Amino acid sequence: MTDKLKMLVSEAEKSGCKVVFEPFLRDYTTFRIGGKAAALFELDNVQKCERLITFAAKNSIPYFIFGKGSNILADDNGTNAVIFRLSGGEPELIGENTVRCFAGVPLVKLCGFALENGLCGLEFAYGIPGSVGGAVYMNAGAYGGEIKDVLTSVKALDKDGNVHDYTAEELEMSYRCSRFTHSGEVVLSADFTLQKADKDGIKARMTELMEKRRSKQPLEFPSAGSTFKRPQGAFAAQLIEECGLKGLTVGGAQVSEKHSGFVINRGNASFEDVMELIGKVKEAVESKTGYRLECEPVIISDREEYKV
């Protein structure tokens, strides 16, 4: 353990944070792929995030931010970086129809809280297997809805340890993108403004969309959700299917036969399996259709060829 890491661990212990040394990232990602990180720190509130992430940044300790690990593909070779895993916390009402959430709150918990309080607007997000922070970071969306439709404001931490409060208009939110995808800031919490509605109607819509997910998506296999962003003017899954790539397999990785927009881990898929398969799909689609597909999952790797 380096001296800097020892200092970070000491800070974590003072803050009451759980620390896991040399965790396998496959245990913290929905793809179930990934080697060891230097350490993983469990952060369950804004104050711990401010203290530890700022300490790491000021001491040049490399780090990655995790939530539910649902949009991450991690290298089997692992990483020398540390992982700050934001988890825990409870949504709270601040006013009649605004909900405030710590970034580590699971999206499904936020949707359930909205239902309990008779608030609609988040039904589209029910079943998205990520955290609030991750959903804001990538402007998660499904079935005609996006996080930006209901997001009011965000509290974020920059690399110098400064906390910023951004209005929704300042977040540069577009398809699977926000200011956070390029600014290096960390989402700490978010406020969502919803609308009063009948609980039975909200629940019915949530149930309907969950059934659609189960019928159309390969939820029975580990994956990082949609593997490719939707190219302008087309749909990734449709392009992949038209190119005859449905079911294409490399090692334990496969283009799902249920939904060709998903690359799945059929069992013991390696990082290299997935990256090779993604490369084959991108090459074939561009060659046959002219569309250049872009990966949606964040790649965690110390290897230069995979660094973003």
Q: Which residues are catalytic?
A: 176, 226, 296
Measured CA angle at 112 (ends 68, 131), to 5 deg = 15
User: 277-290 b/e with 16+ CB inside 10 Å = b?
Assistant: bbeebbebbeeebe
